[in-house]
Chain A
Amino acid sequence: MTATSDAHGQLRSGLWHTINERYPGSMITKSDDVPLASVRKPLRECRLTFVSTAGVQLKGSVPFDTVHPIGDYTFRRVPSSARPADLEIHQIKFPTVGAHRDLNVIFPIERLQELVAEGALGGLTASFFTFIGYNMDPDRVERDLAVRIADAVVEDQADIALMCPA
């Protein structure tokens, strides 16, 4: 059985304090909740998009700048029809040992394609969206990068979004 936590309960106590101590000012903290948006139609009719910080991108596209001291505030479009063999990871801040053997452990593109083929989902947006998680200016992430990705998601006519950090 799957459990749900208390709202806002911290799963690893003390983690946030440690992060803020080591990387002051680098984390987004919110004091208010985002109102829940309702799902307006059955999932089998919904077009899903996937947004990831895994730094996955098409082979041959401009690599993310993974060594810039304050991060890379660009994003890449990844065709949702792509095969894992078409893709590569430009991100050095998370363990990629599993992803290099099976990309679906962090970027489950084949599983999502299967769910559409089986009729569990209505479809996928033309593109998925990726960026890198190492961005040390949270205001710039929120006010610039996230806004541009959100605009692109709307442009791609997504009904629902699955988002995953890496």
Chain B
Amino acid sequence: MSAQVRAPRVVFAPFMMGHHFGVPFHRELQRRMIFEALDHLVHAGVSGEIRVVPITWAQARKEGRAIEEQLR
């Protein structure tokens, strides 16, 4: 969708809709997604470039569950 509307700078991760910064209580992943966007803001070379973050939703959920276990 971002490609179709020609958004100039896009960061994409294959996360569940409504969870674009990650999973609950996973502070580092949430920060990482913001830093990916900020880095892309500075370094994108051409308009329309999409940065794909190499993390799966399954991996994010697994890490999130481990964090929640530690918080209990």
Contacts and interface: CB of A to CB of B under 8 A. Distances in A.
Contacts of B1: 15-16, 19, 27, 165
A99 interface: yes
B52 A5 contact: yes
B18 A33 contact: no
A111 B19 contact: no
Contacts of B42: 39, 43
A164 interface: yes
Contacts, number: 134
A164 B34 CA distance: 11
* SS class, residues of chain B in contact with chain A: loop
Interface in B6-30: 6-9, 12, 16-25, 27, 30
**What band does the interface of chain A fall in when counting residues whose beta carbon is under 8 Å from B?**
35 or more
**What band does the interface of chain B fall in when counting residues whose beta carbon is under 8 Å from A?**
35 or more
B47 A35 contact: yes
B20 A2 contact: no
B62 interface: no
B21 A106 contact: yes
Given A34-B6, A43-B42, A106 B20 contact: yes
Contacts of A120: 38
B38 A98 contact: no
A85 interface: no
Interface of B: 1, 3-9, 12, 16-25, 27, 30-31, 33-34, 36-38, 41-42, 44, 46-54
Interface of A: 1-5, 7-11, 15-16, 19, 27-37, 39, 43, 54, 94-99, 101-102, 104-106, 108, 111-112, 114-115, 120, 160, 162, 164-166
